[in-house]
Structure 1
Amino acid sequence: MPLEGPARIVQQLTAHGYNAEREAVTLLASRPDPTQALDRVLENTPDETLVIGAKDVERVLDAETESTREIAPPSESKAGTSDSAPATDTSRKTEIDTAGQDPTASPGERTTDSPGEAAVDAVETGGFERAGDRSQRDIAIRGDMTGESTGTGEYRDFIAVFRDRLDKLSSKLSGRVNHRPASSIESMPGGSDVAMIGLVNDIRSTASGHWLVELEDTTGTFPFLVMKDREYVDLVDELLRDEVIAMEGTLADDSGIAFVDSMYSPDVPRTHEPKTADRHVEAALISDVHVGSDEFMADAWNDFADWLHTEEAQHVEYLCIAGDMVEGVGVYPNQDEELDIIDIYEQYEAFNEYLKRVPGDLDIVMIPGNHDAVRLAEPQPGFNEELRSIMSAHDPQIVSNPSTVEIEGVSILMYHGVSLDEVIAELPSEKASYDEPHKAMYQLLKKRHVAPQFGGHTRLAPEEKDHLVMESVPDIFHTGHVHKLGFGKYHDVLAINSGCWQAQTDFQKSVNIDPDSGFAPIVDLSTLDVTVRKFS
């Protein structure tokens, strides 16, 4: 089957691990049978070659022509004509998709065009032309703690991280209540109005059906009683240990407890107005690829990658992957029985080959997940240099879990999402469930922390600073992990859990997980509207 223009040639070269000079692709596209010409070049190009140039193409194709052509009679020879094959006519410049890279750059050395220069060329594929000018792109990373880990596992580190959490989130609440420290409340007379900001130290019900919530700050603890007949008693169902809240109430006569009148979470302000891009540009938000699993959906991934080369995807310029690039090894019991690739490094090499299939002119950002070869405790630093060198296709930005990615003014908080398991397990099903994972994400936005509960399913690393606090409100909150698709808006923050690229495994069957596989949510950054593409 003939190739569909120069862009298809670039795609095939990229799939085989090569970059190509513009003139090399033009020479291939100009052949009577581009498919055959490309096959000959691929067969005769050394594996260690990084960039296929025009000379490489001419060497292979000229040698092929030389071995088959007939020598013309002298009477047909013209002055100035070389004995070699006729030169290709390059007087007409053919614009092609250069995969967004400097034609002479090796993998990992992508260059940025000067302002005002169009860096995305027209692509002659039946009218498809990727929209946008790369000089308009703008991407910045906030909160990447890779290389910044300070935790030693000592007791003082645990104290430091919770002090930092309380300090950061208290600032979100201090304007709402006239709060006092626990030690001061203990000395106030009965009947006084009191307010306190603290970490939820304990939650328990009384024999009468009321709720006792104990708050802790740097001076001590104090109990607050939430009466069962108060309208806000339902908020107790949403509380998790170690989250930061504020409570107002009245001290009992003996000053040993306070009766709650109101409670507050740091929350997203209702006045929040999300930022949007100044032009029509889109981002694909995906996660949980799980290359290496025998249930990895290679066909669905390849269909997704092919779609990104089509006119329908002309506005997609960014790809954000929220963790679990590979299946990993030893993540759960008997996982080795469900692996197609049993070596972790070979899993990443295979992932890199699949990543090569997406257009090279996308800006790619990736964070790790709990199946990846990084520490399990959150925050998770980005991958080490060895793994980064393996995952080099299209020069992705690899940052920590979580991190905030600002794309053309739109802030996207990327978090893999392990704590969603805990939120769903602890809270009532109408407030958090696997069928509607975005509602569990709403709870994290309300608490302004991606993993508030310590000591449970989610492993948290003690650091001098709490890198898991949402100090600023994101415009988009992007998670994965639970393998379910769901999205919605909470106080105008778009929350998206993006599903996965893995069919149901035997382990998932055993725990009743029915994954949403082969979906790619596409976000229009100029409107924050979502379109979901299905490839399975």
Structure 2
Amino acid sequence: MNKELTVALNYALHKGFQIHPDAFKILENVDVQKLEKIIKEIVREKTRQKLFQISQDDLETYLGIKDDPSLQSNVKVLSDPTTKITTGEGVRGYNALFSSRFNKLKRIIADRPESRMLKSIASAKTTKSEDDFYVCGLVSQRNTERNITKLVLEDPSGSFEGVVFATELQKTAGTLLNDQFVMTRTSLGKNSGFIIKDIILPDMPDQATNKSETEAYAVFLSDLHIGSKYFMEEEFAEFVSWLSSPDPIARKIRFILIGGDVVDGVGIYPNQDKELVCQTIEEQLKKTEELIDKIPKNVKIIIMPGNHDPGRRALPQPAIPEKYNSSLWKRENVVMVGNPAVLSLNGVKVMMFHGQSIDDIVKTTPGLSYDKPTNVMKHLLRARHLSPIYGSQTPIAPEMQDLLVIEEVPDIFHVGHVHRAQLDMYKGILLVNSGSWQKQTPFQASVGMTPNPGIAIMVNLKTFQVFHENYNSNSDNILQS
């Protein structure tokens, strides 16, 4: 018996464990570098179960020789725009979109006690009372001058302009986005104008987090950009190979969520063809299929489109069209969804959004940046909308209902797009920006954008403990939190 195996077994024996003789043959073939970690993991799990023997069956399960049937892998699609898209025509479509946005967000804010005192804007403009009242609407204008901020709100009955004097409240007003929904506490001024005394956002409620009954893990990935010569193919292949390894965490992975920009696309930006190794969408998706084929079949893979993927560019996006690669759609362990989507993974609610609107919000909101995407994600959660600003860089289709309102309260919010991997928490919601698997491109270098690619983020859906594997050899490449 080699020295490493003796040390590992002594650890188990000192913890009061017995080793079944059949287990020795398997242990002798295990990579010595992994051996001690595996034994400690088995001891920890079996101690929790109050079972103090390590059998051949235990080792076969942990080493991936045999699947662990106790780990759940239930996927339910709770919300997906793919089958709900009903684009309106012209002005009628945009009227329907914004009416839907207003009504959905008004229903959300109706849970707040102040909503009992809500007035329509038309009613508020005729009030003679000196008491404070509440109105809600979409922000159509925001201007700051001479130490005051003016806000114009619109609802279906009309619009009104209110003035914010309080210094602290002006800071809140300064972060509001065009077309964002708010409720304000307002009073009449001396000159018949309106003074805004408080600004209330729909925001997220405090509530208990849903958790998986078993310790299944989900991996969060985004922005692979397969087909680009900057795609980290060797590193990604190493990660895929790790999924089939005897690593205790790898053995418990049951979900992989890819949050958009799976491929680099074609004709997305000028001279892109010079940066492609796969010149057509079909080639890029075929390459994607080849890589996915190496992932263990007991892992469910959820794929969402981004702005580089084929199909509609405007939000909300349907799933990547089947016509480009029907084989992906036909795989039993692959689930194709639109952008955004809400999923249940063993009862844990995950909201996926590629994150195109981050571009608009960073450009218009002081204090927000691409370097810290989770701060923008908090902004979206407070607004209860994934892309509030209409008419900026992010194209939004005139849908008959606004499918970008955050109606479900997620347990995990997963976003990509900006190529910066970062973790954070907000009101009990785990925020995951999963970064990218594309090295810095010439364009990113030209604008001073430094990605931290090649990081696989994994979440234990029972404990919400987060792990990560870094496949980037650059020592400065770290996961932000």
Q: Give the alignment's TM-score, normalised by structure 2.
A: 0.82
1:287 counterpart residue number: 222
Is 1:441 aligned to 2:377, yes or no? Answer: yes
Amino acid at match of 1:417: G
**Given the superposition, is the C-alpha separation of residues 128 and 360 from structure 1 closer, same or farther in structure 2, using an over 3 Å criterion?**
closer
Counting only pairs closer than 5 Å after superposition, residues 479-490 of structure 1 correspond to structure 2 as 479-490=415-426
Equivalent residue in structure 1 for 2:211, among 276, 279, 282: 276
Q: In the aligned structure 1, how far is the partner of 2:325 from the partner of 2:136?
A: 42
1:187 counterpart residue number: 126
Q: In the aligned structure 2, how far is the partner of 1:122 from the partner of 1:162?
A: 57
- Which whole-Å deviations, capped at 9, do the CAs of 1:113-156 have from their partners, x for residues lacking one? xxxxxxxx989599445664278332100221213211133211
How far 1:417 moved relative to its partner? 0.5
Is 1:147 aligned to 2:83, yes or no? Answer: yes
Equivalent residue in structure 1 for 2:262, among 325, 342, 352: 325
1:344 counterpart residue number: 281
5+ long unaligned stretches in structure 2? 1-56, 473-481
How far 1:236 moved relative to its partner? 1.5
Counting only pairs closer than 5 Å after superposition, residues 55-134 of structure 1 correspond to structure 2 as 127-128=63-64, 132-133=68-69
Is 1:422 aligned to 2:360, yes or no? Answer: yes
- Which whole-Å deviations, capped at 9, do the CAs of 1:39-91 have from their partners, x for residues lacking one? xxxxxxxxxxxxxxxxxxxxxxxxxxxxxxxxxxxxxxxxxxxxxxxxxxxxx
2:108 counterpart residue number: 172
2:334 counterpart residue number: 396
2:453 counterpart residue number: 517
Relative to total residues, which structure has the larger helix share, 1 or 2? Answer: 2
Q: In the aligned structure 2, how far is the partner of 1:149 from the partner of 1:134?
A: 38
- Which whole-Å deviations, capped at 9, do the CAs of 1:189-243 have from their partners, x for residues lacking one? 274422111001110113x22100111000110111111x432221112210111
1:220 counterpart residue number: 158
Is 1:302 aligned to 2:223, yes or no? Answer: no
Q: In the aligned structure 2, how far is the partner of 1:144 from the partner of 1:192?
A: 44
Provide the alpha-carbon RMSD of the alignment: 1.9
5+ long unaligned stretches in structure 1? 1-120
1:451 counterpart residue number: 387
SS of residue paired to 2:92: helix
Count matched residues.
Answer: 410
1:200 counterpart residue number: 139
Q: In the aligned structure 1, how far is the partner of 2:431 from the partner of 2:63?
A: 35
Q: In the aligned structure 1, how far is the partner of 2:432 from the partner of 2:162?
A: 35
Q: In the aligned structure 2, how far is the partner of 1:517 from the partner of 1:529?
A: 21
On the 8 A contact 1:166/1:199 being kept in 2, the answer is yes
**Given the superposition, is the C-alpha separation of residues 123 and 508 from structure 1 closer, same or farther in structure 2, using an over 3 Å criterion?**
farther
SS of residue paired to 2:82: coil
On the 8 A contact 1:129/1:314 being kept in 2, the answer is no
Equivalent residue in structure 2 for 1:412, among 350, 357, 364: 350
Q: In the aligned structure 1, how far is the partner of 2:364 from the partner of 2:195?
A: 25
Amino acid at match of 1:164: S
On the 8 A contact 2:162/2:194 being kept in 1, the answer is yes
Q: In the aligned structure 1, how far is the partner of 2:452 from the partner of 2:413?
A: 19
Q: In the aligned structure 1, how far is the partner of 2:66 from the partner of 2:370?
A: 36
**Given the superposition, is the C-alpha separation of residues 209 and 444 from structure 1 closer, same or farther in structure 2, using an over 3 Å criterion?**
same
On the 8 A contact 2:204/2:384 being kept in 1, the answer is yes
Is 1:506 aligned to 2:442, yes or no? Answer: yes
Q: In the aligned structure 2, how far is the partner of 1:339 from the partner of 1:384?
A: 21
Q: Which moved more, 1:289-298 or 1:147-156?
A: 147-156
How far 1:526 moved relative to its partner? 0.6
1:36 counterpart residue number: none
Q: In the aligned structure 2, how far is the partner of 1:250 from the partner of 1:125?
A: 67
Amino acid at match of 1:421: D
- Which whole-Å deviations, capped at 9, do the CAs of 1:315-335 have from their partners, x for residues lacking one? 111111101110001111221
Amino acid at match of 2:214: R
SS of residue paired to 2:443: helix
**Given the superposition, is the C-alpha separation of residues 258 and 349 from structure 1 closer, same or farther in structure 2, using an over 3 Å criterion?**
same
SS of residue paired to 2:407: coil
Is 1:380 aligned to 2:317, yes or no? Answer: yes
Q: In the aligned structure 1, how far is the partner of 2:336 from the partner of 2:89?
A: 25
Q: In the aligned structure 2, how far is the partner of 1:399 from the partner of 1:221?
A: 38
Q: In the aligned structure 1, how far is the partner of 2:204 from the partner of 2:293?
A: 38
1:469 counterpart residue number: 405
Q: In the aligned structure 1, how far is the partner of 2:226 from the partner of 2:195?
A: 54
Q: Give the alignment's TM-score, normalised by structure 1.
A: 0.74
Q: Percent identity?
A: 33
- Structure 1 moving runs of 4+ over 6 Å: none
Q: In the aligned structure 1, how far is the partner of 2:268 from the partner of 2:448?
A: 18
How far 1:394 moved relative to its partner? 5.4
On the 8 A contact 2:370/2:418 being kept in 1, the answer is yes
- Which whole-Å deviations, capped at 9, do the CAs of 1:346-388 have from their partners, x for residues lacking one? 1111111111121121011111000000111000001222134
Q: In the aligned structure 2, how far is the partner of 1:394 from the partner of 1:134?
A: 20
Q: In the aligned structure 2, how far is the partner of 1:150 from the partner of 1:464?
A: 6
Q: Which moved more, 1:181-190 or 1:299-308?
A: 181-190
Q: In the aligned structure 2, how far is the partner of 1:249 from the partner of 1:531?
A: 47
On the 8 A contact 1:448/1:471 being kept in 2, the answer is yes
Amino acid at match of 1:147: T
Query: Which has the greater radius of gyration?
Result: 1
Q: In the aligned structure 2, how far is the partner of 1:163 from the partner of 1:525?
A: 37
On the 8 A contact 2:86/2:400 being kept in 1, the answer is yes
**Given the superposition, is the C-alpha separation of residues 224 and 132 from structure 1 closer, same or farther in structure 2, using an over 3 Å criterion?**
farther
2:96 counterpart residue number: 160
On the 8 A contact 1:379/1:467 being kept in 2, the answer is yes
On the 8 A contact 2:434/2:457 being kept in 1, the answer is yes
**Given the superposition, is the C-alpha separation of residues 410 and 368 from structure 1 closer, same or farther in structure 2, using an over 3 Å criterion?**
same
On the 8 A contact 2:186/2:195 being kept in 1, the answer is yes
On the 8 A contact 1:283/1:524 being kept in 2, the answer is yes
Q: In the aligned structure 1, how far is the partner of 2:66 from the partner of 2:99?
A: 49
SS of residue paired to 1:452: coil
On the 8 A contact 1:287/1:500 being kept in 2, the answer is yes
On the 8 A contact 2:120/2:155 being kept in 1, the answer is yes
Q: In the aligned structure 1, how far is the partner of 2:244 from the partner of 2:194?
A: 62
2:168 counterpart residue number: 231
On the 8 A contact 1:182/1:222 being kept in 2, the answer is yes
1:364 counterpart residue number: 301
Amino acid at match of 1:198: G
